[in-house]
Amino acid sequence: MRRITGKAKDETLIELQSATDSQTGDENSGNGVNSLSERGTLPGHKETDKLQPNKDTVFFRDGVRRVDFVLSYVDDKDGEKKQERRREFEANLEKAGLELETEDKSDSKDQKTYFLKIHAPWDVLATYADVLKIKVPFKESDIPHGQEVPLEWLSHPFRLPEHIMHPQPDYFTYPFDKTKTDFFLITDKDTFFPPSTRNRIVFYILARCPYYKEGRKDRDKTGIKRLLSNGTYTAAFPLHDCRYWKRARNAECESERYNLYKNWASFLCFYKEQPLNLIRKYYGEKIGIYFAWLGFYTEMLFFAAVMGLICFTYGVLSYDDNISSKEICDAYIGGSIVMCPLCDKKCPFWKLNSTCLSSWQSHLFDNEGTVFFAIFMGIWVTLFLEFWKRRQARLEYEWDLVDFEEEQQQLQIRPEFEIRCTNRRLNKITQEMEPYLPITSKCARFCLSAATVLFWISLIVACIIGVIAYRLAVYAAFASIIKDPMRKIQVVGRFITPQLATSVTASCINFVIIMILNFFYERVAIWITDMEIPKTHLEYENRLTMKMFLFQFVNYYSSCFYVAFFKGKFVGFPGDYSYMFGKWSKLRNEECDPGGCLIELTTQLVIVMAGKQLWGNIQEALLPLMRNWWSSRKGRHNPENHYSRWEQDNVLLNFTQLGLFYEYLEMVIQFGFITLFVASFPLAPLLALFNNILEIRVDAWKFTTQFRRPVASKARNIGAWQEILNAVAILSVVTNAFIMAFTSDMIPRMVYLYAYSKNASMEGYVNNSLSIYNISQIPMENMPEERNNWLDNVTDTCRYRDYRYPPGHNMKYTHTMQFWHILAAKMAFIIIMEHVVFVVKFFVAWMIPDIPSDVKARIKRERYLIQEYLHNYEVEKLKLQLSASFITEPQSEMSLMTDKHEVLSECL
């Protein structure tokens, strides 16, 4: 292969390069074109294939061959070793059929960086398209599209222009076969394979090309990834087709990046649909599927957000009907009830009306509408998952992914697996020798991986226990600082109770710990997965997905599980309190506020969820913006003929193979917040909706402006995330049922209303829900250090939250029958709610087929037509061969090809 470098001696190229270098600005571009026209064009090229003086181009210097990939490097101290690696690697690339062209460092703006441009000619593309089974069109589709939807005009304000949404006509496609090139619709070999397919093929070659000399067997010296890791090359990336803020000057360039920026990444388009077809065409199916899922998830969140807002509004409107809060706040009811100390020594006796504000706040989220909303969310999550399956099936058909099976990816072994596994065995499917990992090594690696995972999960649990210990220890400090408001000391005590102060500070500390641990988790999970040496990219991503989600699940949700299901459940009663680490620790288990533990769960959920989303948006938007501000500014204010396309892309951030992994993980963690604990905070879907509307545009902005163009890759679904969503959906029904039964006060209130209330109202509920204890029987280790002076003149008993017999009763301080009635009602509610929601879930899943009927019909029709056309093609090809064998006079090759194409065109 002929290689062209920056110092090429070809006279024509020198002449043309000098003509390009002579241009100093945009205003001189026209003169440059005229001078080139006078000198002529390259031999063998058409008159229209003239060189452009503009350096902002995606073509070689001949203006014809497209740049499919770019490698950059800088000479440094280890120049000789790296130079030898590059020389061998580039020589092997040329042997593989790729064409190379080097831009000398003197032509770059920093005067340090070399750029190696790579072009894949037709033969290479055809060969590897056959190997990778890439589907290409062979006939325009004659299947009519579905009928127009009624009232479609209502969606017009949310739609994008038709040329953006449907840039290409529909075709019947079939895996490319190099021996049947005349079967496919090839009008121009230069444009037959789109840029996304071209860069996918080139990267496949780069990832497997060795850089050792012939005769040596250093199998570890293979692939562009190792060359990037050892610094031989500084970057490897396909080019964007143009600048994002301006169309390409070259008419042959697609300017798809500009269209994406204008119609997708702009924040003014937040209410518009996404151009999924254009996203898929430019970035590949894998990224397209992610944005399709994120968009669909956001659309479904709208209905959950509306219902949650209605339930919250009901809580606000029923504010004045909350009899329990009125009794707590009443000076003659709540003001006359003296409560037992909430901690030992430091906590004083206190009056119930000091929790007036928190009881009103609790009512906003803990009301009758919450039960309905919890049931609704159990059904909503099923509808979301089922309708997504249908949406995904439609995309699979429209994007030619129906026959794309994971088995095709299984055949594509990771280069790291090939390098590190030296043992070989026969593959029973392919009948070829392939590398494999011995079972002993696999078991040893699995055991080490499992032990590491257990260690880090134990570390998370230890941190959570530490936060709980902080809550228990600091509560006494807050109780001594924030005095009882009845003593008229510190007005702030009316608004910040010891419970609220402890909950807020503990939630903030827990969030900081979560962020710190996440920093280490990412690296540990990647190290573990690399150590396991997965065979394929799909297996690698699935393993990493399960590990990271397990880490994140325990990290983000463990504190919420504690507040929801453990806090206030194992407290004991005065005289027999329960302690976290035994009585020696003096850390008494936390009690719930008389208004209930639900408001504390709400506080925990809001801080962790909102904090995570805020921090995520700062990381995704502000940090890349600050990092690339100067580079982007530099690129905009330099004329294109001074700042080349590969230099503009080189300063952008690299989109790694795990880029989408973190995007999915962020959204799935959010999905857990709005499903697992949504009964405690109906506004969670609304917060998620606002975040996701911003998330879509931030991600789109990052992809179009801050990141280099990713290598296109295929995926027919969201992978292992689908199973994780299903598991979270099932678990959410259980958690919400338990939250409504054991964290909320809904069941105790209902039992009192229908079984113990004398006038069928909630009057007297507060007094009924509090048990009595004789102050004189409180042990000295539990008695406050400073006994309230006003206590001797008020009462000799205190109240605590439980259902126990009062002093003087034969069964004093044991549970009353009302306690057992409430417990039975809670268990019955859990069983009934779970069964109702699960029955509805399974019924809805059964009613909604995974694949729409029209898509099934189209798939069957397309497969039938493909078989028919293939049969006709083979028959006509055989006829041509037979007829040619009977011709006595040899026909010219041109006339034979003409006849052949005429017959095939009639066939197709």
What is the percentage of the chain residues whose pLDDT exceeds 70? 81
pTM of the complete model: 0.83
pLDDT at residue 140, as a whole number: 81
Instruction: Report whether pLDDT(342) > 90.
Output: no
Q: How far apart are CA 884 and CA 876, in angstroms?
A: 12
* Better pLDDT: 434 or 72: 72
Helix (H) or strand (E) holding 416, with range, is: helix 415-420
- Please state the rounded mean pLDDT for residues 69-85: 84
157-205 pLDDT, tens digit each = 788 887 777 667 778 888 888 888 888 888 888 889 999 999 999 999 9
Q: How many CB atoms lie within 10 A of CB 640?
A: 22
- Residues, the chain: 908
Q: pLDDT class for 517, splitting at 50, 70, 90?
A: confident
Residue 316 has pLDDT above 60, yes or no: yes
How far is Cα 479 from Cα 347, in angstroms, rounded to an integer?
Answer: 6
Please tell me the predicted confidence (pLDDT) of residue 5: 40
Q: Render 861-896 in DSSP notation, one character per residue.
A: HHHHHHHHHHHHHHHHHHHHHHHHHT-SSPPPHHHH
Q: Per residue in 232-284, pLDDT tens?
A: 899 999 999 888 888 877 776 778 899 999 999 988 888 889 999 999 999 99
**Of residues 601, 619, 737, 618, the one with CA closest to residue 673:** 601
Query: For 839-893, what is each residue's pLDDT tens digit?
Result: 988 888 888 888 888 888 888 888 888 888 888 888 888 888 888 776 645 544 4
- For the chain, the average pLDDT equals 79
Give the pLDDT of residue 625: 62
pLDDT in tens, 743-793: 888 889 899 988 888 888 888 888 888 999 988 888 888 788 776 665 666
Q: Which amino acid is at 850?
A: D
Question: Does the pLDDT at position 727 exceed 90?
Answer: yes
- Lowest-confidence segment of 141-150, 489-498, 635-644 by average pLDDT: 489-498
CA distances from 216 to 222, 289, 393, 742 (A): 12, 43, 48, 69
pLDDT of residue 660: 86
Token readout for 27 is 């205003």
pLDDT of 27 above 60: no
Q: Are strands 171-175 and 69-74 parallel, antiparallel or unpaired?
A: unpaired
**What pLDDT does 603 receive?**
83
Q: Which of 770, 750, 769 is nearest to 761 (CA)?
A: 750
CA distance 690 to 271: 12
Q: What is the pLDDT of residue 205?
A: 92
Alpha-carbon span 858 to 853, nearest angstrom? 9
Q: What residues form DSSP beta bridges with 119?
A: 99
Q: Which DSSP helix (H) or strand (E) runs through 798?
A: strand 797-801
Predicted pLDDT of residue 364: 85
pLDDT above 90 for 69 = yes
Name which of 534, 704, 730, 692 is nearest 609 in CA terms. 692
Query: Where residue 724 falls among pLDDT bands split at 50, 70, 90?
Result: very high
Report DSSP letters for 205-269, one per residue. Answer: HHHH-B-S-TT---TTSBSHHHHHHTTS-SEEEPPPSS-TTS--SSTTS--HHHHHIIIII-GGG
Select the more confidently predicted residue: 431 or 30: 431
Cα end-to-end distance, the chain, whole Å: 37
pLDDT of 798 strictly over 60: yes
More confident residue, 31 or 149: 149
Contacts of 502 (CB under 8 A, 6+ apart): 471, 474, 475, 478
Highest mean pLDDT among 40-54, 507-521, 550-564, 690-704: 690-704
pLDDT digits (tens, 9 = 90+) for 629-686: 555 554 444 445 567 889 989 988 888 877 788 889 999 999 999 999 988 899 999 9
Per-residue pLDDT, averaged over 24-33, amounts to: 35
> Does residue 361 contact residue 491 with C-beta atoms inside 8 Å?
no
pLDDT of residue 495: 55
**Residue 96 vs residues 117, 124, 197, 200, 500: alpha-carbon distances, Å:** 15, 8, 18, 15, 68
Q: Report the run of H or E that residue 94 belongs to, with start and end.
A: helix 79-95
